Structure 1
Amino acid sequence: MKPMTKNMWREISHGKGRFIAIILIILLGVQIFVGIKAAGPTLNDSADKTVKDAKLSDVQAFSTTGFTHKDVQLAEKVAGAKAELVKFKDVVGGKDQAAVALYGYTKDARYNKLSLRSGHMPRNGHEIVLDELAKDNDGYKLGQTYTFSKSAKLKHRSYKIVGFADSPMYIDDSTRGSADVGDGTVRYLAYIPQREMNLKVAMMLNIGFHNLQSKGTFTDGYSDAVNAKVTALKKVFKPRAASRTKALLGNTVVTLDQQLAKITAAKKQLQQAGQQGGSAANLAGQQDVTLTKEAAQLKAAKTKALAAGKTTYTWQDRNDLPGFQAYGESSDRIAAIANVFPVFFFLIAALITFTTITRMVEEARSQIGTFKALGYSKWAIAKNYLAYALTAGLIGTVLGALIGNTTLPRIVLALYKTYIPLKWVVKFQWGDIGWALLFSMIATVGAAAYVVWRELTEGPADLMRPRSPKSAKRIMLERITPLWNRLSFNRKVSYRNLFRFKSRMFMTIIGIAGGTALILTGFGIQDSIGASGTRQYNDIIHYQATMRLRTAGQEDKADQILNNNDQYHSHTDVAANVGDLKTNGHQVNDVNIYAPDNVAQFKRYVTVRNANTGKSLSLPKNGVVLTEKTADLLHVKVGDHIKVTTTDNKQGTAKVTGITENYMGHFMYLSRAAYKQLLHETPTMNTLLVQFNHQTDKQRKSLAHKLINHGGVMGTSYTKDQQTTVSTMSGSLKPVVAIFILLSGILSFVVLYNLTNINVSERIRELSTIKVLGFYDNEVTMYIVRENIVLTIAGIIVGYGVGELLTGYIMKQAATAQVIFPLTIHLTGFIVATVLMAAFTAIVMFVTHKRLQKIDMVGALSSSE
Structure 2
Amino acid sequence: MAIQEAQLKTKQRQLQQSQSKLSYATRRLSAGQSQLNTSRSKITALQDITYQIQSRNDYNAGYNQFGEDAKRIDVLSNTFPIIFFAVAIMVSLITMSRMATEKREVIGVLRALGYTRFDTMKVFLVYGIFAGVLGSTLGAFLGTSLLPRKIFSAYAANFTIPNFQTPPSPFWISISIILSLICTLIPAILATVIMLKDQPAVLMLPKPPKAGSKVFLERFPFIWHHLSFNYKVTIRNLARYKSRMIMTILGVLGCTALLITGFGIRDSLNGIVDTQYKDIIHYDIIGVYNPVSSDQAIANYKRKVDHLADMKQHASIYYETVTSRPQGTSSNQSISMMVPKSTNNFHDFVNLRNPDTKKALHLSTN
TM range (shorter): 0.5 to 0.7
Counterpart CA distance in 2 for 1:513 and 1:589 is 37
**C-alpha displacement at 1:484, in angstroms?**
4.4
- Range with greater deviation from structure 2 (425-434 or 399-408): 399-408
Q: Residue in 1 aligned with 2:200?
A: 460
Whether 1:570 and 2:313 are equivalent positions in the alignment is yes
**C-alpha displacement at 1:536, in angstroms?**
1.2
The amino acid that maps onto 2:239 is F
Q: Residue in 2 aligned with 1:547?
A: 287
Whether 1:505 and 2:248 are equivalent positions in the alignment is no
**C-alpha displacement at 1:593, in angstroms?**
2.9
**C-alpha displacement at 1:437, in angstroms?**
1.3
CA spacing shift, 1:559–1:398, aligned 2, 3 Å: closer
Counterpart CA distance in 2 for 1:560 and 1:537 is 28
Conserved 8 A contact 2:89-2:187? no
The 5 A counterparts of 1:761-800 are none
The amino acid that maps onto 2:167 is K
**C-alpha displacement at 1:445, in angstroms?**
0.9
**C-alpha displacement at 1:450, in angstroms?**
1.8
**C-alpha displacement at 1:418, in angstroms?**
7.8
Deviation string, structure 1 residues 466-523 (Cα, Å, up to 9, x no partner): 3332333444555565564454433332333233323223333333343333334333
- TM-score, normalised to structure 2, is 0.66
The CA RMSD over aligned residues, in Å, is 4.3
Q: Residue in 2 aligned with 1:341?
A: 80
CA spacing shift, 1:470–1:347, aligned 2, 3 Å: same
Counterpart CA distance in 1 for 2:59 and 2:130 is 51
Three-state SS of the structure 1 residue aligned to 2:316 is strand
CA spacing shift, 1:351–1:543, aligned 2, 3 Å: same
Deviation string, structure 1 residues 620-656 (Cα, Å, up to 9, x no partner): xxxxxxxxxxxxxxxxxxxxxxxxxxxxxxxxxxxxx
**C-alpha displacement at 1:334, in angstroms?**
4.0
**C-alpha displacement at 1:321, in angstroms?**
7.6
Q: Residue in 2 aligned with 1:385?
A: 124
Counterpart CA distance in 2 for 1:418 and 1:588 is 18
Identical aligned pairs, as a percentage? 32
Whether 1:360 and 2:99 are equivalent positions in the alignment is yes
More strand by share: 1
Unaligned runs of 5+ in 2: 1-27, 35-53
Conserved 8 A contact 1:361-1:451? yes
Conserved 8 A contact 1:597-1:672? no
CA spacing shift, 1:615–1:474, aligned 2, 3 Å: farther
Whether 1:592 and 2:331 are equivalent positions in the alignment is no
Counterpart CA distance in 2 for 1:490 and 1:363 is 26
**C-alpha displacement at 1:551, in angstroms?**
3.2
Q: Residue in 1 aligned with 2:177?
A: 437
- Range with greater deviation from structure 2 (581-590 or 497-506): 581-590
Q: Residue in 1 aligned with 2:209?
A: 469
Counterpart CA distance in 2 for 1:506 and 1:430 is 36
- TM-score, normalised to structure 1, is 0.31
Three-state SS of the structure 1 residue aligned to 2:286 is strand
Q: Residue in 1 aligned with 2:268?
A: 528
Whether 1:606 and 2:350 are equivalent positions in the alignment is yes
**C-alpha displacement at 1:426, in angstroms?**
3.1
**C-alpha displacement at 1:447, in angstroms?**
0.9
Aligned pairs, number:
316
Conserved 8 A contact 1:354-1:447? yes
Q: Residue in 2 aligned with 1:446?
A: 186
CA spacing shift, 1:427–1:477, aligned 2, 3 Å: same
Counterpart CA distance in 1 for 2:66 and 2:324 is 25
Counterpart CA distance in 2 for 1:381 and 1:477 is 42
Whether 1:401 and 2:140 are equivalent positions in the alignment is yes
CA spacing shift, 1:383–1:517, aligned 2, 3 Å: same
The amino acid that maps onto 1:537 is Y
Counterpart CA distance in 2 for 1:563 and 1:380 is 89
Conserved 8 A contact 2:121-2:189? yes
CA spacing shift, 1:328–1:578, aligned 2, 3 Å: closer
The amino acid that maps onto 2:335 is V
The 5 A counterparts of 1:176-191 are none
Conserved 8 A contact 1:366-1:465? yes
CA spacing shift, 1:467–1:585, aligned 2, 3 Å: closer
CA spacing shift, 1:579–1:451, aligned 2, 3 Å: same
Conserved 8 A contact 1:581-1:588? yes
CA spacing shift, 1:361–1:559, aligned 2, 3 Å: same
**C-alpha displacement at 1:538, in angstroms?**
2.0
More helix by share: 2
**C-alpha displacement at 1:534, in angstroms?**
1.6
Counterpart CA distance in 2 for 1:350 and 1:377 is 27
CA spacing shift, 1:618–1:563, aligned 2, 3 Å: closer
**C-alpha displacement at 1:391, in angstroms?**
2.9
Counterpart CA distance in 2 for 1:365 and 1:583 is 62
Three-state SS of the structure 1 residue aligned to 2:212 is coil
Counterpart CA distance in 2 for 1:512 and 1:369 is 34
Q: Residue in 1 aligned with 2:45?
A: none
Three-state SS of the structure 2 residue aligned to 1:514 is helix
Deviation string, structure 1 residues 567-613 (Cα, Å, up to 9, x no partner): 43433433333444468786746533333334564444334444445
Conserved 8 A contact 1:389-1:445? yes
Conserved 8 A contact 1:596-1:672? no
Counterpart CA distance in 2 for 1:420 and 1:548 is 25
The 5 A counterparts of 1:107-126 are none
The amino acid that maps onto 2:103 is A
**C-alpha displacement at 1:558, in angstroms?**
5.3
Unaligned runs of 5+ in 1: 1-254, 262-314, 620-670, 674-865
CA spacing shift, 1:319–1:376, aligned 2, 3 Å: same
**C-alpha displacement at 1:352, in angstroms?**
0.9
The 5 A counterparts of 1:14-53 are none
Counterpart CA distance in 1 for 2:159 and 2:321 is 29
Counterpart CA distance in 2 for 1:579 and 1:320 is 11
Q: Quick check: which has more Rg, 1 or 2? A: 2
Whether 1:372 and 2:111 are equivalent positions in the alignment is yes
Counterpart CA distance in 2 for 1:573 and 1:481 is 76
CA spacing shift, 1:616–1:447, aligned 2, 3 Å: same
